[in-house]
Amino acid sequence: MNAETAPHAVEIAGLSKWFKDFQVLKNIDLTVAHGERLVICGPSGSGKSTLIRCINGLELHQAGRVVVEGVELTDDIAQVEAVRRDVGMVFQQFNLFPHLSVLDNCTLAPMWVKKVPRAQAEKAAMEFLERVHIPEQASKFPGQLSGGQQQRVAIARALCMNPRIMLFDEPTSALDPEMIKEVLETMVELAETGMTMMVVTHEMGFARTVANRVAFMDHGEIVEIAPPEVFFNNPKSDRTKEFLAQIIH
Amino acid sequence: MAPTARQTTRPPVERIGPIEWLRENLFSTPFNAALSVIAMAIIYILVVPTFRWAFIDAVWAGDSRDACLAVNTGACWPFIENRIGQILYGFYDEAERWRANLTLFLLAAGILWLTMPGMRGKPLVAVLLLTVFPLIAYVLLTGGFGLEIVPTYRWGGLLLTLVIAVTGIVLSLPLGILLALGRRSDLPAVRIASVLFIEFWRGVPLVTVLFMASYMLPLFLPQGMSADKLLRALIAVALFNSAYMAEVVRGGLQAMPKGQTEAATALGLGYWQTHALIILPQALRLAIPNIVSTFIGIFKDTTLVSIIGFFDLLGMIQAGTSDAHWSTPSTAFTGYLFAGAIFWIFCFSMSRYSRHMERVLSAGERR
Ligand SMILES: Nc1ncnc2c1ncn2[C@@H]1O[C@H](COP(=O)(O)OP(=O)(O)OP(=O)(O)O)[C@@H](O)[C@H]1O
Ligand SMILES: [Mg+2]
In chain B, domain spans: 69-92+150-360
Predicted confidence at residue A247, as pLDDT, reads 82
For residue B116, pLDDT beyond 90: no
Q: What's the CA gap between B272 and B186, in Å, rounded?
A: 14
Atom 1 in ligand 1: which residue has the minimum CA distance?
A19
A143: which chain B residues are within 8 Å (Cβ-Cβ)? 364-367
H or E element, residue A18: strand A10-19
Predicted confidence at residue B3, as pLDDT, reads 47
Q: Using DSSP, state whether B365 is helix, strand or coil.
A: coil
For residue B275, pLDDT beyond 80: yes
Predicted confidence at residue B365, as pLDDT, reads 58
Least confident of A51-60, B53-62, B148-157: B53-62
Q: Mean pLDDT, to the nearest integer, of B262-271?
A: 95
Residue B109: which pLDDT band, with cuts at 50, 70 and 90? very high
User: Any CB–CB contact under 8 A between B256 and chain A?
Assistant: no
- Which atom of ligand 1 is found nearest the CA of A42? 21
Dihedral of alpha carbons B134, B135, B140, B144, sign: positive
Q: Which long-range contacts (CB under 8 A, 24 or more apart) does A204-207 make?
A: A204/A41, A204/A232, A204/A247, A204/A248, A206/A39, A207/A39, A207/A41, A207/A231, A207/A232
B229 against A212, higher pLDDT: A212
Predicted confidence at residue B268, as pLDDT, reads 94
For residue B6, pLDDT beyond 60: no
Q: What are the C-alpha distances in Å from A166 to residues A28, A34, A56, A83, A114?
A: 20, 11, 10, 12, 18
| Contact assessment for residue A167 and residue A140, using Cβ atoms and an 8 Å cutoff | no
Å from CA of A212 to ligand 2 middle = 21
Residue B1: which pLDDT band, with cuts at 50, 70 and 90? very low
B178 against B119, higher pLDDT: B178
Q: Mean pLDDT, to the nearest integer, of B185-194?
A: 95
Predicted confidence at residue A112, as pLDDT, reads 96
- Those residues of chain A that have pLDDT short of 70 are 1-4, 249
Residue B61: which pLDDT band, with cuts at 50, 70 and 90? confident
Q: How many CB atoms lie within 10 A of CB B231?
A: 13
B270: which chain A residues are within 8 Å (Cβ-Cβ)? 81
User: Which A residues in the span 52-111 are in contact with B, Cβ-Cβ below 8 Å?
Assistant: 56-58, 81, 84-85, 87-89, 91, 93, 95-99, 108-109
Q: Minimal Cα–Cα distance from A50 to chain B, Å?
A: 13
Å from CA of A43 to ligand 1 middle = 11
Kindly state the DSSP code that residue B326 receives in the 8-state scheme: G
Q: Mean pLDDT, to the nearest integer, of B325-354?
A: 91
Å from CA of A145 to ligand 1 middle = 29
Instruction: Pick one of 1.10.600.10, 3.30.350.10, 3.20.20.70, 1.10.3720.10 as the CATH number of B69-92+150-360.
Output: 1.10.3720.10
Q: Average model confidence (pLDDT) for chain B?
A: 89
Å from CA of A152 to ligand 2 middle = 19
User: Any CB–CB contact under 8 A between B267 and chain A?
Assistant: yes
User: Any CB–CB contact under 8 A between B266 and chain A?
Assistant: yes
Q: What's the CA gap between B315 and B326, in Å, rounded?
A: 16
Residues that place a CB less than 5 A from ion ligand 2: A 49
* pLDDT tens-digit readout, A31-46: 999 999 999 999 999 9
Predicted confidence at residue A1, as pLDDT, reads 47
Quote ipTM for the complex. 0.93
